[in-house]
Structure 1
């Protein structure tokens, strides 16, 4: 898969994982696991990129005597998810175009 396309898809997946509630790294990976495998190093690179882009904010809170970073989606992050949904319609149309001759040869 094209690396830029995959990068964009993973960004949206991480945003979707925190869309309904703030979350932390391990939980994000766990929530995404049924759909996609993601390493910790990849996740934290994505989270940093999304934070820099203003799509999420980070707060640190103590949990069981340790500091844990919690991630919160921003309005820009929610817009990115909505943009992805709109883009997906175009991606599906492109897929149908690319595979149309497969159906004609049956």
Structure 2
């Protein structure tokens, strides 16, 4: 299995909900990456929760998300009885940006005879 999903998903297993399994693998991989950067569960957990919350709001998986869903999500958070403040919105936007950067990055590989990564 190409990419880092193979580190989380079991090769040869037929998943009942393959899209859900892929999404869960993305979240698990991102959590592992954050742990290797010495982030604490108190940081990682809320970040994962926000990504899941956005997925539920949009009723889509990350590979289906568009800017329109993100705008609608933040618009909904600004309304209601307890609208979020600007600093919270910026923090949420940063979390979503970090997650998307993780899942869309190209894997780094080393080419034969090359001392640095090749993209």
TM-score (norm 2): 0.32
Instruction: Tell which has more relative contact order, 1 or 2 (C-alpha 8 A, sep 6+).
Output: 1
Which is richer in strand?
A: 1
